[in-house]
């Protein structure tokens, strides 16, 4: 049952407003009208968002609840970079180069933005207190060389959070492309294959995907609201919703320090400080089943995971990836995957997305061990230096 209106809390003036030290939403919207509104899509829903404190086993009222019917054409809810934005990015890239800053050392302090800083503050706010998903379009991939793209992309991300290592090699700039990997291999991450992956969430506050090259066919992004998924499951099978609020074993996909366990535990749905959060039930839980010391799924877990996966697929929207598109997702309120795809034969045209993993210590409250673990630190292995490779090959 929906929470009654007297229980609803306005976001303005809330704890988050103080935490983020962001301007009042109405004022922020007014500022936007001073910009080129003809080309700025309306991605901001946070200014009208309402939520109620989330309580286990009750329907969740959260701005990140949305369904297929709530999204129209992607251009209507995305932000389109303007020529003026391109110029601002080019100037910031030039400053980074002029000051001899390495790509992996790009930070907010050395990547100066003005008008775009306001836009990125709103993107972050939309991820935190809105839909949990923002599309940006027309990133200047044709104007910039690969290094400038990497600098500008990392620079934009630095206005939303701290970059994190995404793999055992310490990459803070990830390359999502088909490296010929086998998705079923316990030590292979799905992003290195072209298989249709299970819906999942990445282990960080925000994931960004910048499309450099699209696939010949297929490869669409699929995204669902985990709030919507939870509410549907609760309505249909509260007994299984309860199971999904309990711990599941997950594989670290072999990315651990010597002596560390190759798995960890985490619930799929969590309730912390009145906030709902979710993680995926992707390949990591199935891969853990192959590890010694991990108990096998109970019959209730099998049933719960099956219902969860079916419900996510029922709730998901398909979003195409065009070169220059950036998709930002809050992993704790969305689930994502992509369609299987057919690639171009030429190496230079192959589907290629650049990925960012961003940590926001003031992000959505999640379980403490999750925040202090991989979701807050990334794949942080001892002795591995962070790097931002401009490309990776099959041997990487």
Residues binding Fe ion (CB under 5 A): 202
Please give the residue whose beta carbon sits closest to Fe ion in the complex. Answer: 202
Phi, psi of 178 (to 5 degrees): -80, 110
Q: Write down the least CB distance from residue 233 to Fe ion, Å.
A: 21
Q: Write down the least CB distance from residue 336 to Fe ion, Å.
A: 6
Of 200 and 213, which CB lies nearer to Fe ion in the complex structure?
200
d(CA 335, CA 71): 16
Q: Write down the least CB distance from residue 334 to Fe ion, Å.
A: 10
Of 110 and 187, which CB lies nearer to Fe ion in the complex structure?
187
Give which of 353, 334, 246, 352 is closest to 282, Cα–Cα. 334
Q: Write down the least CB distance from residue 219 to Fe ion, Å.
A: 13
Of 129 and 202, which CB lies nearer to Fe ion in the complex structure?
202
Q: Write down the least CB distance from residue 200 to Fe ion, Å.
A: 6
d(CA 276, CA 105): 34
DSSP 70-137: G---GGGGEEE--HHHHHHHHHHHHHHHHTT--GGG--GGGS--SHHHHHHHHHHHHHHHS-SEEEEE
Q: Give Cα 337 to chain centroid, integer Å.
A: 11
Of 240 and 284, which CB lies nearer to Fe ion in the complex structure?
284
Q: Write down the least CB distance from residue 253 to Fe ion, Å.
A: 12
Q: Give Cα 128 to chain centroid, integer Å.
A: 11
Contact 368, 377 (CB under 8 A): no
* Count of Cβ atoms closer than 10 Å to residue 101 Cβ: 17
């Amino acid at each position: 049952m929906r929470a009654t209106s007297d229980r609803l809390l306005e976001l303005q003036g809330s704890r988050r407003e103080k935490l983020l030290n962001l301007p009042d939403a109405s004022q922020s919207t007014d500022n936007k009208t001073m910009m080129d509104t003809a080309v700025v899509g309306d991605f901001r829903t946070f200014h009208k968002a309402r939520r109620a404190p989330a309580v286990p086993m009750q329907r969740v009222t959260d701005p990140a609840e949305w369904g297929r019917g709530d999204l129209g054409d992607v251009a209507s809810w995305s932000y389109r970079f303007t020529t003026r934005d391109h110029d601002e990015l080019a100037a910031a890239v030039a400053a980074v180069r002029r000051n001899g800053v390495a790509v992996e050392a790009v930070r907010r302090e050395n990547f100066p933005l003005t008008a775009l800083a306001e836009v990125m503050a709103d993107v972050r706010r939309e991820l935190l207190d809105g839909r949990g998903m923002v599309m940006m379009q027309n990133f200047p991939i044709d104007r910039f060389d690969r290094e400038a793209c990497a600098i500008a992309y990392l620079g934009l991300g630095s206005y939303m959070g701290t970059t994190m290592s995404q793999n055992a090699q310490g990459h803070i700039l990830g390359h999502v492309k088909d490296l010929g990997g086998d998705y079923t291999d316990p030590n292979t991450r799905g992003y290195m294959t072209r298989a249709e992956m299970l819906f999942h969430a990445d282990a960080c506050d925000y994931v960004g995907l910048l499309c450099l090259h699209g696939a010949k066919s297929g490869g669409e992004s699929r995204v669902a609201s985990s709030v919507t998924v939870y509410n549907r499951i609760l309505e249909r099978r509260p007994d299984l919703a309860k199971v999904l609020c309990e711990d599941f074993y997950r594989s670290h996909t072999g990315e651990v320090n010597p002596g560390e366990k190759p798995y960890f535990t985490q619930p799929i749905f969590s309730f912390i400080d009145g906030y709902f959060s979710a993680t995926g039930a992707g390949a990591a839980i199935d891969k853990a089943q192959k590890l010694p010391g991990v108990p096998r799924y109970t019959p209730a877990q099998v049933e719960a995971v099956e219902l969860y996966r079916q419900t996510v697929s029922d709730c998901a929207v398909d979003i195409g990836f065009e070169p220059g598109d950036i998709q930002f997702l809050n992993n704790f309120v969305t689930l994502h995957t992509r369609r299987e795809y057919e690639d171009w034969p030429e190496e230079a045209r192959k589907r290629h997305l650049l990925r960012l993993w961003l940590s926001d210590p003031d992000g959505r409250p999640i379980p403490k061990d999750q925040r202090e673990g991989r979701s807050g630190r990334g794949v942080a292995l001892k002795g591995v230096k962070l790097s931002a490779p401009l490309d990776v090959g099959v041997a990487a």
